[in-house]
Structure formats: C-alpha cells, structure tokens
Amino acid sequence: MSRSLLWKLLAPAFVLGLSMVAPAASSAPRAPEPKAELGFIPLDADITLRRMVVRSAKPKGTVILLHGFPETLYAYKGISLELAKDYDVHAFDWPGYGQSSRPAPDRFSYAPNAYARVLQQYIDKAGIDTSRLTIYATDIGALPAMLLALDQPGIARSLIVGDFAPFDRPPYMHENLQALKSKASAAAVNAAMNKNRDEILENAYRRGFAKEEQFDLSPELKRDMREGWDHGGMSSADAFHHYYAHFTQDQVYFEAHLARWRTPVKVVWGEKDFYIKTDMGAELADKLGVKMITLPGLGHYPHLQDPQKTVAEIRASLAGG
C-alpha cells in the first residue's frame, strides 16, 4: 500500500483523536476572578473603618491604597481588582469619609499625625506583612503615610506618594487650601464647602482642565461620595477642615526630621495639578534624593484620570523598579 493511500485511510481517525483530546486541555479549572470584599474593622473604642479587601489567589505582596478629599475607598475599586491578579489589595475610608467613624474632634483630632496612627492600627489589625507592603497615597493620605514611615521606616517595603503638601509652602497651594490653614479664614471656607457640596463632588477632579480634557467618574463612586458626605453630625468637609487646622504643625515636624528618612519612596505628580504645584513635589524629591515622576496631562487625581498608569506605577514599585 502506498504511503499516500495509507494517510488517506488514517487521517480521519487521527483528526478525530485530536478533537477528543483537545477539550481536556481547556477544561482545567480557571483561577477565580478577584472580588472586592466590603466590611468593617474596629480599631479602638472611637474608630471603626469601612474597608475593601481584594485577595489574590497567589499574592506576591500587599498594597494599601489611601484616598484623598472628597473621595472614598470606591476611588480604588477598579485599580484594586486589576492589582489583585497578583497582590492582596486593601483600601479604607479615612475617619470622616465614606462610612467610617466620625468621632467628635475632642476625641479624635483628624490631624495628619492622627491619621498616621489610624494607618498603623489598620496594618496591625489586618495582619499585613510590612516587608511585602507598598503604600500608594495621594492628597490627604500622603502626609500621614510619610509621617508613619518617618518614625517607623520598616512600616512598608516602599511608598508611592504625590499631589499633596509635605512642606509649609503656601504659594505652592491653591488659595482655598491656604485659607483652610489660617484660623482667620478656615471657618468661612468650611461653611462654603458644606454649602457647595454638590458642586464639589461633581467638579473637584475637573478643575484646571479644558473642556475636551475633562473626564468623569464611575456612577458607583459618585453615589458613594454623595451618600458618605454627611452623617453622624459631621461632613467630609468638616473632617477636611479639622485636618487642615493641624496641618502646618505636622508639615513642620515632617520637614524638621526629614534627614532621618529611610523608607524607599517614589514621588509621582500630575503635571496639571490644579491644587498643589509640581514645585512642591520637586522640592520633596530633591530633599529625599530621588527623581520625581511627572505624569504628562494628568491632574491632582491621577488614579481617577488614568487608573492604568497608577497600576503600572504600583507594579513597578513592587517589582523593585
């Protein structure tokens, strides 16, 4: 029998055999898609935090994402789900935001150093391995993270910070932020912020952009910020007001002790930050001896405007890049 005739006879059976074997390779169970787990974690008698945890099947490390004003933890939901392909991811509402506690100011100051203690308590309560931890923090979240790392250099493997005010440099800050730092004008600014809640929630992240450059938020985040603005007798604007009432003293402390900084850190800044000039980030990077990463076309909320860029920066930090 010729070779060509033999192939004609056997080929159908060979193809059938492949078709029977192939499905077995594709029937292997897939790793479950990461899911955001929402819940509450008590820190002490005064503070209970709402938190979001997204767990990875095989985590290479842990990421904590710290939000700013007027955000809630939902600012990081999409980023968390993406990072959780490789890392456990945590986010929480700061006291005074979202659904976390809002104790009276005589029981909790809302100062950056008070938030630093909250971050420390959270890391301890959540049982996070700090040797495999990266903290990403912007706006009101960044100074607390840096204050904690200043006093406890081993609190994280690395930090990524940006778009905040580490130093008392009023000319680098928007006039409303300058006014919040002054006792003479802070109360009036706070009252105006409460009065203009809806406008702030709709436009805070749009400022400084031309119409064609503006971006929108997810309906889920918008709804959560609106629902979490005011409860327990205190608004997020009130918490922001108390934060800034103590802000200068914590900035001064940070700058006075910056020579003992030890934790690896990246300084990342939106090129078009409307609220805090890039000069602030450049000075911080210079004092730390690192290069500031400027994000072209991005503003004060890079994680909202370009989440994938934020994911890339965090992955690079975790990889040691």
Per-residue pLDDT, 203: 96
Are 105 and 247 within 8 A, CB to CB?
A: no
In whole angstroms, how far apart are CA 189 and each of 24, 105, 176, 292? 66, 18, 7, 31
Q: Tell me which of 294 and 23 has the higher pLDDT.
A: 294
Q: How confident is the model at residue 319 (pLDDT cuts 50, 70, 90)?
A: confident
How far, in Å, CA of 144 to CA of 112, rounded?
Answer: 5
Q: Which helix (H) or strand (E) holds 52?
A: strand 48-54
* pLDDT above 80 for 16: no
Q: How remote is the C-alpha of 118 from its chain's centroid?
A: 15
**Residue 219: band (very low, low, confident or very high) from pLDDT cuts 50, 70, 90:** very high
Whether the pLDDT of residue 297 is over 70: the answer is: yes
As a whole number of angstroms, the longest Cα–Cα distance in the chain is 104
| CB contact set of 218 (below 8 Å; sequence gap of 6+) | 74, 77, 78
**Would you state the pLDDT for residue 24?**
45
Over residues 120-124, mean pLDDT: 98
From 77, 18, 22, 32, select the one nearest 53 (Cα to Cα). Answer: 77
**Domains identified in the chain and CATH numbers:** 36-318 (3.40.50.1820)
- Per residue in 69-89, pLDDT tens? 999 999 999 999 999 999 999
Residue 235 to residues 193, 201, 242, Cα–Cα distance (Å)? 10, 13, 11
Q: Per residue in 198-207, pLDDT tens?
A: 999 999 999 9
> What are the pLDDT digits (tens) for 232-285?
889 999 999 999 999 999 999 999 999 999 999 999 999 999 999 999 999 999
Instruction: Reply yes or no on whether the pLDDT at 31 is more than 70.
Output: no
Alpha-carbon distances of 173 from 190, 226, 242, 280, 281, rounded to whole Å: 17, 26, 18, 9, 12
Tokens of 27: 């029937």
As a whole number of angstroms, the distance between CA 321 and CA 317 comes to: 5
What length does the chain have?
321
Closest by CA to 272, choosing from 294, 298, 303, is 298
CB pairs under 8 A, 24+ apart, for 139-142? 139/67, 139/68, 139/69, 139/71, 139/163, 139/164, 139/300, 139/301, 140/67, 140/68, 140/69, 140/94, 140/112, 140/115, 140/164, 140/240, 140/243, 141/66, 141/67, 141/68, 141/94, 141/115, 142/66, 142/166
Write down the pLDDT at residue 195: 97
Average pLDDT over residues 298-320: 92
CA–CA distance, 120 with 116 (Å, rounded to integer): 6
